[in-house]
Structure 1
Amino acid sequence: MPLSTLAPERPFVAVGDIHGRADLLLDLDRQIAAHCAGWPVVLLGDYIDRGEQSREVLELLMTLSAEGTPPVTCLMGNHERMLLDFLDFPERRGPVWLRNGGLQTLASFGIAPPVGTQADAVALKALRARLADTMGEAMIAWLRARPLFWQSGNIWAVHAGADPDRPIPDQAADTLTWGHADFLRRARPDGHWVAHGHSIVDMPEVRDGRIALDTGAYATGRLTAAAIAAGDVRFFQTGPSR
């Protein structure tokens, strides 16, 4: 799908997975302000886990608003979903979250991991209570309110991917936050583009109607943003390869 088919309503910026790197987010924000001042910004989810500054990232993002200047929209990622699932079902969902970066998020809130096995029901319930108390109702409510997608013209922003054969508003939440088997295999037949994170790439990619922006910031130090305008995509990135 040629870049000439890109047709947002107005230029905007999409930001890839942050994963607990508040330092990189602040660096990238300076670049966005310098090159795309006033453009709407959409963050593609996965603000927490793996990196050491999850709490700081959430506190920063909670100060932003889709009604602000510039307008900023923060989407739901699968790691936010895992945290919320842990809060709702600590015994069943806790072990999966803890194995996938939850320990770093706990540490950012000053909470030690559970003693003994992570599958211990008593320990997981106690851990859930302490985390909920430390996060506070406002932060938890903010996470629950994250939208699953954002649209500008013929470009959709989602966290993980989408079924190419279904309109994005009609897709299941799990598909948009965890991905779809056909998403990376073929382009959508409707001519729409999808900007996404979730699937780590060495460098940001523009191909087959997809704009891939997860460059593994927590491990590589490279947090990526795309400045998307009609027929054009430019990338900004933190780290030594900037």
Structure 2
Amino acid sequence: MFKRLFRRFVASSDFPATAPESPFIAVGDIHGCVDLLERYLGLEPGDPLVCVGDYVDRGDNSAEVLRLLHARPDIICLSGNHEEMMLDFLKDPAGSGARWLRYGGLQTLASFGVAGVTETSSADAMAQARDQLQDAMGPDLITWMKRLPKCWQSGNVAVVHAGADPAQSIENQTEKVLHWGHPDFAKATRTDGVWIVHGHTIVAEPTATRGRISIDTGAYATGRLTAALIEPGKTTFETIT
């Protein structure tokens, strides 16, 4: 059994209304919670889906999440900072391994059947774990991850992972900002009328206010995965538990 919780938000007059070219759904950070993702997809949501990134780490089933999304070219998948850390580990296990494992990489390795390494392991052990992970993932999945876009936009609504610099156009955002956020994102209101849909920062409830739509409800910790149906002039939140 699971519950579908709905909340609706209609833009106030202090920021232009959402005006996507057509309705679409943005899905928050999944973090290895394949059961919640499968439940939502099983509802046949209908409108195009855009996932905000952070498919791996912390939850127990990162491998299953990646394989499911890789097999669904109809779903638009963006990259998040946890995909960045995972790819950094594949490229430089000795230099990047400790950080990734500290932020949930251990669970991702386990989901691919890789064990025997911790954040304090030697460079040789990290390299061995990297080699095992590469073999378990296969080249197609790795290439897919490397090619994930950082941003997707429809009309005056842009979907990113962590946020955007309010002083820069969407086209001029850096990968670092899109993956890790910007100190002014939650403080300053954009002047170009573009709404930013994002995850990365866990919120108790999804919100849509002053150009920011926040949809990370901490699926791995709370058991609640949130999706936002974004239409002209309104946003409807749906939380799967």
Structure-2-length-normalised TM-score: 0.92
In structure 2, the partner of 1:103 is 106
1:51 aligns with 2:59: yes
* Distance in 1, Cα, partners of 2:168 & 2:117: 42
1:14 aligns with 2:26: yes
- Report the secondary structure of 2:54's partner residue: coil
* Distance in 2, Cα, partners of 1:143 & 1:113: 25
Which residues of structure 2 form unaligned runs of 5+?
A: 1-10
- Report the secondary structure of 2:68's partner residue: helix
Q: CA RMSD in A?
A: 1.3
Q: 1:19 to 1:188 in 2, by over 3 A?
A: same
Matching residue within 233, 236, 239 for 2:238: 236
In the TM superposition, what are the counterparts of 1:61-210 in structure 2 within 5 Å? Answer: 61-65=69-73, 68=74, 72-114=75-117, 118-210=120-212
- Report the secondary structure of 2:163's partner residue: coil
1:222 aligns with 2:224: yes
Confirm or deny: 8 A CA contact 1:28 1:236 kept in the other structure.
no
Residue 119 of structure 1 deviates from its aligned partner by 4.5
Confirm or deny: 8 A CA contact 1:106 1:113 kept in the other structure.
no
Q: Deviations over 1:140-187 (max 9, x none)?
A: 001000000000000000000110011112111011001001011122
Q: Deviations over 1:114-136 (max 9, x none)?
A: 16x62411111111111111111
Q: Deviations over 1:23-49 (max 9, x none)?
A: 000112234x2xx41x11100000000
* Distance in 1, Cα, partners of 2:125 & 2:106: 14
* Distance in 2, Cα, partners of 1:207 & 1:9: 20
In structure 2, the partner of 1:29 is 41
Q: 1:113 to 1:178 in 2, by over 3 A?
A: farther
Confirm or deny: 8 A CA contact 2:16 2:193 kept in the other structure.
no
* Distance in 1, Cα, partners of 2:133 & 2:112: 8
- Report the secondary structure of 1:79's partner residue: helix
* Equivalent residue pairs, number: 229
- Report the secondary structure of 2:19's partner residue: coil
Confirm or deny: 8 A CA contact 2:151 2:158 kept in the other structure.
yes
- Report the secondary structure of 2:196's partner residue: strand
Q: Percent identity?
A: 50
Task: Kindly report structure 1 stretches of 4+ aligned residues shifted beyond 3 Å.
Answer: none
Q: 1:7 to 1:58 in 2, by over 3 A?
A: same
* Distance in 2, Cα, partners of 1:126 & 1:101: 18
Which residues of structure 1 form unaligned runs of 5+?
A: none
Q: 1:119 to 1:189 in 2, by over 3 A?
A: farther
Residue 139 of structure 1 deviates from its aligned partner by 0.7
Greater Cα offset, 225-234 or 164-173? 164-173
